[in-house]
Amino acid sequence: MSKKKIASARIGIESSDLLKELNNSLPFDKTLYLEDIKGSLAHASMLANKGIISGDDFKKINLGLNEILEEITSGSWDIEEDQQEDIHMAIEYRLTQKIGDAGKRLHTARSRNDQVALDFRLYVQKETKEITALLSNLMKSLLEIASKHTETLLPGMTHLQHAQPINFGYHIMAYASMFKRDFERFLSSYERNNLSPLGCAALAGTPHPIDRDMTASALGFDAPTLNCLDTVSDRDFALEILFNIATMMMHISRLSEELILWSSSEFGWIKLSDRHATGSSIMPQKKNPDIPELLRGKTGRANGNLISLLTVMKGLPLAYNKDMQEDKEGVFDSVKTAKLSLSILEEMLAQMTIKKAAMERACKVGHLSATDLADYLVKKLGIPFRDAYHIVGNTVNLAEEQGVDISELSLEALQSIESNIEEDVLGILDNRACMNARRSKGGTATIRTKEQIEALKSWLENLR
Contact with ligand ARG (CB under 6 A) among 99, 116, 421, 435 = 116
159 has catalytic annotation: yes
Q: Does 40 bind ligand ARG (CB under 6 A)?
A: no
Separation of alpha carbons 106 and 6, rounded Å: 13
| 112 near ligand ARG (CB under 6 A) | yes
Q: Which residues contact 444 (CB under 8 A, 6 or more apart)?
A: 156, 164, 165, 166, 167, 170, 435, 438
Q: How far is CA 428 from the centre of its chain?
A: 42
The yes-or-no answer on residue 188 being catalytic is: no
- Of 111-119, 245-253, 370-378, 395-403, the window that binds ligand ARG (rule: CB under 6 A) is 111-119
Q: Torsions phi, psi of 157, nearest 5?
A: -125, 155
Q: List, in sequence order, the alpha helices (H) in 198-351.
A: 212-218, 228-233, 236-262, 290-313, 328-351
Question: What backbone torsions phi and psi does residue 352 show, to the nearest 5 degrees?
Answer: -80, 155
CA dihedral 384, 388, 389, 392 (to 10 degrees): 180
Our finding on whether 113 is near ligand ARG (CB under 6 A) is yes
Among the listed residues 57, 86, 333, 346, the single contact to ligand ARG using CB under 6 A: 86
Q: Is 25 in the site for ligand ARG (CB under 6 A)?
A: yes
d(CA 81, CA 98): 15
123 touching ligand ARG, by CB under 6 A: no
Of the residues 280, 343, 390, 410, only one is catalytic, namely 280
The answer to whether residue 320 forms part of the interface with ligand ARG (CB under 6 A) is: yes
Q: Give the dihedral sign, CA 251/256/258/259.
A: positive
* Segment interacting with ligand ARG (CB under 6 A) among 121-129, 214-222, 267-275, 318-326: 318-326
| 448 to 147, 172, 437: CA distances (angstroms) | 12, 14, 10
92 binds ligand ARG (CB under 6 A): no
Residue 66 CB, shortest distance to ligand ARG, in Å, is: 23
Cβ at position 196, least distance to ligand ARG in Å: 17
* Per CB under 6 A, 325 contacts ligand ARG: yes
Choose one: 143-151, 290-298, 300-308, 317-325; the region binding ligand ARG (CB under 6 A).
Answer: 317-325
CB of 5 to ligand ARG, least distance (A): 12
324 binds ligand ARG (CB under 6 A): yes
Please report which helix (H) or strand (E) contains residue 402, including its range. Answer: helix 385-402
What's the CA gap between 301 and 280, in Å, rounded?
25
- The residues carrying an active-site annotation are 159, 280
Residues in contact with ligand ARG by the rule CB under 6 A: 25, 29, 86, 112-113, 116, 320, 322, 324-325
